[in-house]
Structure 1
Amino acid sequence: MSVRPRTWTTKGVEHHGWVADYVDGNGNRQRKQFKLKRDAMAFEKRAATEVADGVHIAAGDSITVQQAGEDWIKAKQRAGREQATIAQYRQHLDLHINPAIGHVKLPALTPVLLSKFEDELHDAGRSTAMIKKVMVSLGSIIANAQKRGHAVRNVVRDMRGLGNGADARAEKRARGKLRVGTDIPTPDEVKAILGALRGHWRPLLMTAIFTGMRASELRGLAWADVDFAKGQAHVRQRADRYNAIGRPKSEAGDRVVPLPAPLVNVLREWRLVCPKKDTGKRDANGEPVKVLDLVFPNGQGKVESLGNIINRGLVPTQMRAGVTVETAEIDEDGKPVLAAKYTGMHALRHFNASWLINSVKAGGLGLSPKEVQERLGHSSIVITMNTYSHLFERLDDGSEMSAAAAALLG
């Protein structure tokens, strides 16, 4: 192996550079050109170590980030990932990764290059959360390429240990804790919402409030999984944004949730008028055969869209209940236009979590963190505590602390 200077002329202009010349693990001679001698020497040193360890991949034998991305998408499809998840991966690849570094070969990826890539995403107006998702996808792309022998190191995952702990803490501080009355509906607001429920949105939103089920789980809930005798529902499936029915979000998502008696009664009534699914078959009289399938379908018995649930159910219900906020818009009388205070179904899930956590004295169930995790279907207790730890009752009461201090001093 050697590093030597190189001079060449292009259109009458003389150029100078440095070439790292070495033999790869297959006995083939390889050359890589650099502008600076120190870069060439650094590469030569790294290549020598990789060749000795039997893991070196020459640039000519590798593939670009874009090619690796396509292999990754196909691998995810073969693994049976949901259509919505594949679509998200495709967006990360086509909208963010390929335009910036899709042409770069995997061995050429460096921490400096990826830091610049992150800066460009930030300058383009991408949110911190989106940048994080894109980088996770990029790390997964390189990991898949490693398994196929196209890459030696995963630069993205190597970077995670370089100061990201402080970045994560700063991001968490900026995001702040979920606040009751801002992110989480108050008990009084939920009482008002319950009193304003109308029509077929009543059983759906009431179930969301009392079970904490995700919107996708509510949309995919089947009558076969509702046990009226035991007062519980088994979450076995969910509907993605393309209305495709699939498995729960995680293994922990497959769970049993209790149904309080008032909700059981509402669901019993709803079952009598719930739209049925057309099986595509005909009976002896030539009439369509329809069966009960989903608990909260649309008028045709098919999966209800999330947009309809929010825009036709959650938002109008809050407007009737007076759970609103003033907007910057002014009406013809010069008064601020009101809007629904909570714009997503996750607000009801947050309320359910707070209801599970609050003490019985405060009108809640007073469950332990582990029980809350199981009810909500979180894949890890860490998720539960990172999201809701501040809602659990603190035991270090001031009077108790004073008494303990007095005991130590006495």
Structure 2
Amino acid sequence: MATIRKRELPSGKIVWQADYRDGSGKRRHKQFTKKGDADAFLLTARGQVRAGTHVADSQSKTIDQAAKLWLAQVEKDGKERTTVDRYTETYEKQVKPRLGATKLNAVTAPTLQTFIDDLVGTMSLSSLKKVKGCLVSVFKYAVSRGLAAHNPAREVALPESNRGRKRPEMPTKEELRSILTNTPARWQPFVRLATVTGMRASELRGLKWSDVDLAKGLVHVRRRVDKYGEFGPPKSGAGTRDIPISAGTVAMLKAWKKDCPSGDLELIFPTTTGAVEGHANLLHRVFHPAQVAAGVTTKTDKVDGDGKPIMEAKFGLHALRHAAAALFIEQGFAPKKVQNLMGHASLQMTYDVYGYLFPSDDDDQSKMAAMESGLFG
């Protein structure tokens, strides 16, 4: 039987004690300074006991304890090392310092909302999403193991997705041509294919000759390679896709196939020994030097021996993916087609990033003039 009684502690302090039995029949109690708080707790606890979700304070684990169990399970489930590393880094750097010692059953949605609100302005929206995703996953694991009654992280709101969103930076057509011209011949097929397909660098690094149908002019995106050189599926289900290529690109690949280093992996863009090429190598030994040679640079705060500003490459490899999307849109591909070619998980994602590039067939100026004429005469 659940009851609430008034008690005087040896210190003389008056408290209200809620007594109840948990799901296993064990007697539990919790003290409050206000009777209303005791009433509210007992009402919630009784409902949780009936639902089989109640966790007593003494049995509740901390967020840190639950997070370690969750991360161990993620690794056991065979997630890619880069994924495990990302989860671990987000938890260790953002969540643990402030919330790690807090018990799961003491965490409320307002508690987590305040935590997220305090982070707004200190990091990008994508980073905020990772922090929330980490909390949601920890509590989801805890609920499934009976360590928490519910998942308060699901109720946390993030800032509006479009607030402060920057348009992606990408090379112009002239810059693209100049970069390709100044890229070493050995790597021109890589830069060209990235530009005309919009494939992610990880997908290109994992691309095999068996993934390309040179007769039909199709590239089948079926895998990617992480920073450890390990193969895995594309970033999302939508990442598995087929991308058409022109006769000119097919001819380029046929010519490159004759000189491509051979290896057991049968990669299209391997190292000289046929192994997986590293992202950093492509960036710092190929793409960045090609931009500097092409004059596609930006000024840094550093100066050389003569006191002149040191110039550095303007773009990362992902800029080629943005450029490809812009080219698709310029050619008149429908939004849904652009989504499919880019491997976006949703059409909304395509619009969020590239919506401003899609042309409008409406004569907006004429409509505005008509609106004002009807209003002002």
TM-score normalised to the size of structure 1?
Answer: 0.82
Cα distance in 2, alignment partners of residues 34 and 207 from structure 1: 66
Q: 1:16 to 1:355 in 2, by over 3 A?
A: same
Cα distance in 2, alignment partners of residues 117 and 7 from structure 1: 36
Tell me whether 264-273 or 367-376 shows the greater mean CA deviation.
264-273
2:20 partner letter: Y
Mapping of residues 326-341 of structure 1, within 5 Å: 326-341=299-314
Tell me whether 321-330 or 60-69 shows the greater mean CA deviation.
60-69
Aligned residue among 21, 30, 33 for 2:31: 33
Cα distance in 2, alignment partners of residues 346 and 57 from structure 1: 47
| Alignment pair present for 1:74 and 2:75 | no
1:86 maps to 84
| Alignment pair present for 1:261 and 2:261 | no
| Alignment pair present for 1:377 and 2:364 | no
Q: 1:119 to 1:35 in 2, by over 3 A?
A: farther
Q: 1:54 to 1:245 in 2, by over 3 A?
A: closer
Cα distance in 1, alignment partners of residues 17 and 126 from structure 2: 41
2:253 partner letter: L
Q: Kindly provide the CA deviation profile for residues 16-35 of structure 1, in whole angstroms up to 9, marking residues without a partner as x.
A: 54432222233321112345
Q: Secondary structure of 1:30's partner?
A: strand
Cα distance in 1, alignment partners of residues 210 and 284 from structure 2: 28
Tell me how many residue pairs correspond in the alignment: 374
Contact 1:208/1:348 (8 A) holds in 2: yes
Unaligned runs of 5+ in 2: none
1:331 partner letter: D
- 1:357 deviates by 0.3
Cα distance in 2, alignment partners of residues 406 and 66 from structure 1: 60
2:210 maps to 224
Q: Secondary structure of 1:350's partner?
A: helix
1:154 maps to 151
Q: Kindly provide the CA deviation profile for residues 18-74 of structure 1, in whole angstroms up to 9, marking residues without a partner as x.
A: 432222233321112345554433322322333344433323344332332233223
Aligned residue among 137, 143, 166 for 2:140: 143
1:248 partner letter: P
| Alignment pair present for 1:192 and 2:178 | yes
Q: Secondary structure of 2:141's partner?
A: helix
RMSD of aligned residue pairs (Cα, Å): 2.8
Q: Kindly provide the CA deviation profile for residues 83-102 of structure 1, in whole angstroms up to 9, marking residues without a partner as x.
A: 11012122233333334333
Q: Secondary structure of 2:164's partner?
A: helix
Contact 1:275/1:292 (8 A) holds in 2: no
Contact 1:210/1:260 (8 A) holds in 2: no
Q: Secondary structure of 1:389's partner?
A: helix
Q: 1:17 to 1:95 in 2, by over 3 A?
A: farther
Mapping of residues 74-223 of structure 1, within 5 Å: 74-118=72-116, 127-160=124-157, 164=158, 167-169=159-161, 172-178=162-168, 183-223=169-209
Cα distance in 1, alignment partners of residues 364 and 105 from structure 2: 58
Instruction: Report runs of 4+ in structure 1 exceeding 6 Å deviation.
Output: 402-409
Cα distance in 1, alignment partners of residues 368 and 111 from structure 2: 56
Q: Secondary structure of 2:243's partner?
A: strand
Q: Kindly provide the CA deviation profile for residues 304-334 of structure 1, in whole angstroms up to 9, marking residues without a partner as x.
A: 1111111111111111111111222233333
2:298 maps to 325
Q: 1:398 to 1:94 in 2, by over 3 A?
A: closer
Cα distance in 2, alignment partners of residues 398 and 266 from structure 1: 43
Unaligned runs of 5+ in 1: 278-290, 359-364
Cα distance in 2, alignment partners of residues 76 and 296 from structure 1: 31
Cα distance in 1, alignment partners of residues 244 and 234 from structure 2: 17
2:160 partner letter: A
Contact 1:145/1:151 (8 A) holds in 2: yes
Contact 1:8/1:15 (8 A) holds in 2: yes
1:296 maps to 269
Tell me whether 345-354 or 144-153 shows the greater mean CA deviation.
144-153
Cα distance in 1, alignment partners of residues 359 and 101 from structure 2: 53
Q: Kindly provide the CA deviation profile for residues 165-213 of structure 1, in whole angstroms up to 9, marking residues without a partner as x.
A: xx224xx2212333xxxx1211121121122221322111111111100
Q: 1:400 to 1:150 in 2, by over 3 A?
A: same
1:176 partner letter: K
Q: Secondary structure of 1:326's partner?
A: strand
Q: Secondary structure of 2:277's partner?
A: coil
Aligned residues: percent identity? 40
1:59 maps to 57
